[in-house]
Structure 1
Amino acid sequence: MDAQNMQALGPPPPEVGESFLKIPMRDGFDSELKVFKPTQPPTTGSPLVIMVFGGGFVTGSNGQLTAISRVLSSRFGATVVNISYRLAPQHKFPTGVNDAWDSVQWIAANASSLGADPSKGFILGGVSAGGNITAVIAQKSLDEGMSPPLTGVWLAVPWLFTTPESVPEEYRDQWFSREQNKDAPGFNQEAMAAVVHHLEADNTSEWCSPYNTKSPHRGLPPTCIQADGMDPLRDDALIHEQVLREHGVQTKIVTWPGLPHAHFAFFPMLKCGKEALIDIFRGFSWLLGKEVTAQDIANVTTHAVPSSA
C-alpha cells in the first residue's frame, strides 16, 4: 500500500527536499529515517516533527505518512522525520517500540544537524499502532526528562487499551467501540486478534501503554487526538482525551462520525478523506501555534492527495 501511494503521489513539491538517513539502534541494527526539509528554511527556525507510521505493528514503512509530511514541511517550514521500527512477527515486542524510542532520542539530540530548531516546536505524532508508540514515547520522554522536550503530541486513531482491565475503571462503561464495531470494514475484531497474536506484547509493560507507568499523563504537552466513529479503537481515543484533560493537559479532539479506521489513509481521494487531511493539518496548526490561511487549506489536498484521484 505504501509503495502504491508513493507512486501515485509523485515527486515532492519544489519547496520540499527528501532524503534518507541510517541511524544505529541499541542492538547495532541500522534503522532508516525519511527526512523532509524545506529547501528554503524559515529565517525564524524550522520546527521539528517526528512521525510514526501505523499498520498493526506488523506492516507499514517510513513512507506511509509522506503526504502529510510534505504538507507540514511545505506550509510550516517544518523539518519532518519519519522513523522506522522493526515489525512483528519477525521482531516481537518490545523491539518495535524500543526502535522508536531510540530514534526519537537520536533525533532530539541531533536536531540541529538535521536543520531543525525544536524551540520553534517539537511535535511527535503517530497513526494507529504508531499512535500507541507515540503515546508511550511521549510519556517516556517526560519521565526521562528528554531534552529538548516535546511541545506537542498528535494521536490519530490510536490503540491505547489492550484489555478491558487496562481501561481506567471509571471509564469502562464508555469503552464499547470494540464490540460495537467488531465487524467494521478493514480493521475489525478479527484483525485486532491477529495483531495481538503476532506481537505477543506484555500488557502490563510501560512500553505497551502509558497507563502502565507510575504517574501517567500529568505534565504532558498539548495533545491533538483524532478518532473515526466506525473504528474499534474509537473509544480508546475518546477516553484518552478525557483522561488527559482531567490531568491538566491541553487537548483538541476531532471525530469523524461513521467512518472506518484510518479512512484518511485508505481513501484520501474521497471527500471524507480530503476533509480529514484538512482536519489533520489544522491539528498540527494548533500544536505549532500557526495561523491557517485559505491558501494553506487549498494546498493541503494539492500536495496530499494522490494524483490518480
Structure 2
Amino acid sequence: MKKYTKDSKVTIIGAGRLGGSLALALVNASYNVKSIFSRNFNSSVNLSRKINNCFPSESIQKAVDNADVVFITTPDDAISKTATSIKWVEGQAVIHCSGVSGIELFKDIEAPIELGSFHPMQTFASINEGSKSMEGITFAIDGTQEIIEYLKGLSHSLNANFVLIPSENKAMYHLTGTLMGNLLLEYVAISAKLWEHIGYDQKKGIQALVPMMRQVADNLENIGLPEALAGPYIRGDIGTIKKHLEVLKRDEPQLVNLYCSIALAGFPFAEEKGTMSLQLRQEIKKMLESEFKTGD
C-alpha cells in the first residue's frame, strides 16, 4: 500500500473557486501541486501561473498521468463522469470535494486505486481569498484507510479541523452547510431589503446588519447555545412579535410564513434557555402557529 505524503505529486481537476482555493492552500502548506486541468484552458493557465513548477494541461489524461493524488473539484454532477473518463493506474488516488456525496461516486472505477472525499465547510468568493480561508474550518473526510490518513494530515497542515463523515451521512452534513451558508445569506438579503420600507436601500441595510451578524457568530462561538440566543422570542416580548407580524402582513405578506416557520423551528432552543414562563411560551407559540397556518 502506497504512502501518500506532502511530496506526492498532486493534480487539481477544476480551476474554479474551490479548485483554485484548494490548490493555493495546498502550496502554502508545502504540498506538491504539479498540474492543473480545467475545461477552460485559460483558467488552468491562470491558476498554474500562481504556483511554482506547476503546469496547465490541455489533456485531463496527461494531467492525471503526472500525479500520485488527484483532486476532482468539478460540480457534483460531473464528478462520476470525469472520474470514469480517466485511465487510472494502481498506486494513484482520487479524491472528490462534494459535500453531499461520498466515495460511491467512484463505484464505476475498476482500477485498484485509493478513493477519498474531502469537503470544506466553507464558502469561497474568490480564489485568492478562498486560499486564505481554510484555517480553522472543518473538512468532512471519507475514503479508503490510506487516504483518510493522508487527508487527516492535510487538514492539520491547513490548520483546520476534520470530521469523519460516511456516505450515508453526507446529505445531512451538507444540508447544515446549506442552511448556514446559502440560506442564511438569502435570509440576510431579505432582511436588508426590508430597509426599503424605512426609507433606505438594501446596501444600507447590509451595512447595518453585517456587524450584528459578526457579533452573533462571536457569541455563538464564545458562549454557545442556548446562552447566545437573544431577541423577542427569548425575552418573551409578545408585543414586539405582534408588531413584527403586523408590518410584515402590511408590507411583505409573503414573508409571514418565513418569519413564523423560522421562529417555530428555533423555539425549542428558546425554551431550553428558560427565560420565559410556560404560559408565555405557549401563548407565543400558539400565535406563531396560527399566523403560519392562516397567513391572515
TM-score (norm 1): 0.25
Higher relative contact order (CA 8 A, sep 6+): 1
Q: Between Structure 1 and Structure 2, which shows a larger proportion of strand residues?
A: 1
Q: Between Structure 1 and Structure 2, which shows a larger proportion of helix residues?
A: 2
Greater Cα radius of gyration, structure 1 or 2: 2
